[in-house]
Amino acid sequence: MNSRERLMTTLNHREPDQVPLDLGGNQTGIHRVAYQNVLDYYGFQEDVVIMDVVQQLAAPSEKVLETFEIDTRYIRPGMFSPPTELKEVRPGFWGVTDGFGVTWAMPGERPGEGLYCDIIEHPLRNLKYEDLDHYDWPDGKDPSPFRRLREYARKMYEETDYGLVSGITGVVFEICWYMRGLEQLYMDMLEQPRYVEKLLDHTLQFWMDYLDTFLGEVGEYLQVICVGDDLCMQSGPLFSPAIYRELVKPRQKVLYSSIKKKTAAKIWYHSCGSVIDLLPEIIDNGADILNPVQISARGMNPKELKAKYGDRIVFWGGGIDTQNLFSSGTPEQVKKQVRELMEVFKPGGGYVFNTVHNIQADVPVENIVALWEAAQESRAY
């Protein structure tokens, strides 16, 4: 099979010739420091291009992707825009302010001294309910992020055989706390839920408009459309499942239903943490794929996940314990765990190999190389 056939076969819960391998997304990527170490290891001479300025993720080159036998390629809005540069947003902090007015920054005497950006300004922290409609919300219909995408996507679809995946979209819930502040939003859930509903309605409308434009340009060429909202922490849901069902789920479901009317691409849903309690809800919303499959979180036992949900949702990730073993273990231990997890997830299809979230800066390059070597060695059916 070629890469696209391999990906589509496993997404339809059938066994391909080999497990598809993925690298390069906003939640399946590699930090610029780790990426530079990979370049040095192989002796590749190239500049590191940042594709996600907040997480400081590198855009893997074709040479690296081919070395690791990666089956996917990403079609991201804004990929042909000028690169975003970190600016001094306050003394000693370098960052960016996004379209929602959220300021992300890292400390340092100069740009790039930190590893990634955190939120330092929540623009709606003190905004009253009656002023929400008058806030300067971004325009999801703005065509500028989609410049040249259709031409590029068509070329990738017609001239390569890779599986084509979108960048992250559809972040309906998380953006609300980015704007309001996590503590304040959680207080709002209990004290003034109408504030949360109004926020969610605005973020939903943005993503409805954004995805209508985006999928109008490239929807026919994509095999996977990525959406996501972190709903969980290490031990379980971040907030009451009852509140999720009342406030968040209906809006997610509207968005995912709209996506399915515009493209045949499978819906890839990202939430970190122990999602086991909400997984039936995520499936009911219309998600076809779960990422990152955080195997070190409560209730996220790979064997149990595969046995209970393997015929209902594709697992994309879960390839290594990134919280512990990946950064602190030996290459031999990394290879052993990759082989074991591959054997758990791959029967019957429905599995795409990647790490649990992004490869971070502190992962030894020998472990990164060991991961992809083991994946290549154990991916065959």
pLDDT at 253: 98
Residue 83 pLDDT > 90, yes or no? Answer: no
Q: What one-character-per-residue DSSP string does 308-337 give?
A: HHTTTSEEE--SS-TTTHHHHS-HHHHHHH
pLDDT at 159: 98
For helices 331-345 and 365-378, what crossing angle results, to 10°? 30
Question: Beta strand pairing status for 50-52 and 314-316?
Answer: unpaired
Of 227, 66, 226, 217, the residue nearest 153 (C-alpha): 217
- How far is it, in rounded angstroms, from Cα 356 to Cα 232? 15
Compute the C-alpha angle 188/192/198, nearest 5°.
85
Q: What is the mean pLDDT of the chain?
A: 97
- How far is it, in rounded angstroms, from Cα 227 to Cα 266? 10
pLDDT band at 82 (very low <50, low <70, confident <90, very high): confident
Residue 319 pLDDT > 90, yes or no? Answer: yes
The token duo for 117 is 């950006």
pLDDT at 173: 98
Q: What is the DSSP letter of 244?
A: I
Q: How far separated are the first and last CA of the chain, in Å rounded?
A: 12
Q: What is the DSSP letter of 64?
A: H
Domains of the chain, with CATH numbers? 3-84+126-378 (3.20.20.210)
Which residues touch 187 (CB under 8 Å, ≥6 apart)? none
Residue 19 pLDDT > 90, yes or no? Answer: yes
Residue 111 pLDDT > 90, yes or no? Answer: no
The model's pLDDT over 334-365, given as tens digits with 9 standing for 90+, comes to: 999 999 999 999 999 999 999 999 999 999 99
Neighbours of 287 (CB within 10 A): 24
The model's pLDDT over 143-170, given as tens digits with 9 standing for 90+, comes to: 999 999 999 999 999 999 999 999 999 9
Region 293-299: what's the mean pLDDT?
A: 97
The model's pLDDT over 203-246, given as tens digits with 9 standing for 90+, comes to: 999 999 999 999 999 999 999 999 999 999 999 999 999 999 99
The token duo for 198 is 């109004």
Q: Are 251 and 194 in contact (CB under 8 A)?
A: no
The model's pLDDT over 114-137, given as tens digits with 9 standing for 90+, comes to: 999 999 999 999 999 999 999 999
Q: Are 361 and 322 in contact (CB under 8 A)?
A: no
